[in-house]
Structure formats: C-alpha cells, structure tokens
C-alpha cells in the first residue's frame, strides 16, 4: 500500500475557536490504521517520559525500525501529502516536517493543560488516534481550552480509532488529555513548521 493510498482524510469540521483546529473522522485507510495499532502494541522500545504535567511513553518513528509494510507512514510522500493538506486547511504557503512521534498513555495517565508552543520550531500538528476497541469509559479524551484555566473547556474530542485533530500551535493552543482508564491510548503526532 502506497502512502498515497493510505492517507484518506475525511474532514468533519474546521473552526478558529478556541484556536484554529479541525477534526477528522478518519485519517488512514482502515487496514493501515489497524496494522499500525497492532505494531504499536508489540513495539518494545518505548521511552518513558515524566514531566510536571504529563506521564507517557513515546518514541520517534523517524528513528525507529519500522516493518516494511508500515514504512509509508514516515515516507517523504506521506509527509508532503499531510503538509499540503494542512496548508490548504490553514491557508498557509509552506510547511516542513520536523518530527513524527508515537505516544502511549496507560491506565491512570493523563496530560495537564498545555499549549505545545516553543516558538518558530513548531507551528502545526496533526494528531492521529489509534485506539481500536476504545469506549467512553476508557477516558483519554482530548480537551481544548479557551485559556490555561483547567475549568475553561471549549471542546471535548473523543479519541476514536483512526480519527485525527489538526491544529495551529500557538501560545493560545491550550489542550489536555483526560485520565485513561483500563486502556492503552495510542497516538501518532506529525509536527511541522512554517
């Protein structure tokens, strides 16, 4: 399966509130999404990260050894296709890929309110949920905020399998992940800069 065949975004909505972002009902073809989540469940080189506002496992897909059947997810072709998609949605001229990471949250893990803003090094992000078998009682909701106040929730996004959220990174792009219960929550994160 080529990356051209694998990336088939189905957009649900775009809004500038609380910051520019869009939701995708689906991102990859189903067979690619299922193959990805099965590989992530078996992958054994996750790096543990703990900070003041989150605990998670993560690794760079660019530096990992992927099965040949999944190599399209880090191909230049796919990165360019995602960049073009983001450029069109956000009405910007050019984006350059700066990273592709996988994240894993386990039972009891969550992410506090943060904005991902580190300056010009990162400007846009596409987060793809890979959560086969997820149900509402498993939590792990992506929450978007009007401000850094944890009670100022603007939107709650269910982390359904093969769905996605793209957003513009800024000092106002406050978001968080609610506590995960009895589940392993996986995401792929494509990060770009202008």
pLDDT by residue (tens digit) across 149-158? 999 999 999 9
**Separation between Cα atoms, residue 162 and residue 16, nearest integer Å:** 23
Residue 23 · residue 12 · CB < 8 Å? yes
| Upstream peptide bond of 33 is cis (omega within 30 degrees of 0) | no
- The CATH number of whichever domain residue 70 belongs to comes to 2.60.120.620
pLDDT at residue 24, rounded to an integer:
96
Query: DSSP state, 149?
Result: -
DSSP string, 40-95: HHH----EEEE-SSBEEEEEETTTS---GGGGGGGSHHHHHHHHHHHHHHHT-S--
Give the CA count within 13 Å in the CB-facing half-sphere of 34. Answer: 4
**Separation between Cα atoms, residue 87 and residue 124, nearest integer Å:** 10
Phi, psi of 115 (to 5 degrees): -125, -5
Residue 102 · residue 49 · CB < 8 Å? no
**Separation between Cα atoms, residue 66 and residue 141, nearest integer Å:** 28
**Separation between Cα atoms, residue 30 and residue 47, nearest integer Å:** 27
The number of folded domains in the chain is 1
pLDDT tens-digit map of 31-86: 999 999 999 999 999 999 998 889 999 999 999 999 999 999 999 999 999 999 99
Average pLDDT, integer, range 93-115: 97
Residue entry with tokens 């100022």: 152
Task: Give the predicted TM-score (pTM) of the model.
Answer: 0.95
Domain range enclosing 144: 3-193
Residue 164 · residue 7 · CB < 8 Å? no
Using the predicted structure, report yes or no on whether residue 100 has a pLDDT greater than 70: yes
Average pLDDT, integer, range 124-138: 97
pLDDT at residue 5, rounded to an integer:
57
pLDDT at residue 178, rounded to an integer:
97
Q: Average pLDDT over the chain, rounded to whole?
A: 94
Quickly state the pLDDT bin for 169 (edges 50, 70, 90): very high
User: Percentage of the chain surpassing pLDDT 70?
Assistant: 97
Residue 170 · residue 29 · CB < 8 Å? no
Q: Is the dihedral of CA 70, 71, 74, 75 positive or negative?
A: negative
């Amino acid at each position: 399966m080529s990356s051209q065949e694998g990336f088939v975004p189905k957009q649900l909505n775009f809004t500038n509130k609380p910051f520019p972002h869009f939701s995708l009902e689906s991102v990859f073809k189903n067979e690619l999404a299922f193959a990805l989540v099965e590989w992530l469940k078996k992958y054994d080189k996750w790096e543990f990260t703990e900070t003041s506002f989150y605990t998670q496992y993560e690794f760079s897909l660019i530096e990992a050894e992927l099965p040949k059947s999944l190599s399209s997810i880090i191909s230049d072709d796919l990165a360019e296709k995602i960049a073009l998609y983001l450029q069109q949605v956000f009405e910007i001229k050019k984006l350059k890929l700066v990273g592709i990471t996988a994240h894993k949250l386990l039972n009891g893990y969550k992410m506090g309110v943060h904005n991902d803003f580190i300056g010009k090094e990162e400007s846009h992000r596409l987060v793809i949920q890979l959560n086969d078998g997820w149900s509402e009682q498993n939590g792990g909701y992506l929450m978007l905020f009007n401000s850094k106040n944890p009670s100022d929730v603007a939107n709650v996004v269910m982390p359904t399998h093969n769905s996605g959220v793209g957003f513009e990174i800024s000092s106002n792009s406050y978001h968080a992940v609610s506590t995960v219960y009895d589940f392993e929550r996986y995401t792929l994160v494509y990060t770009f800069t202008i």
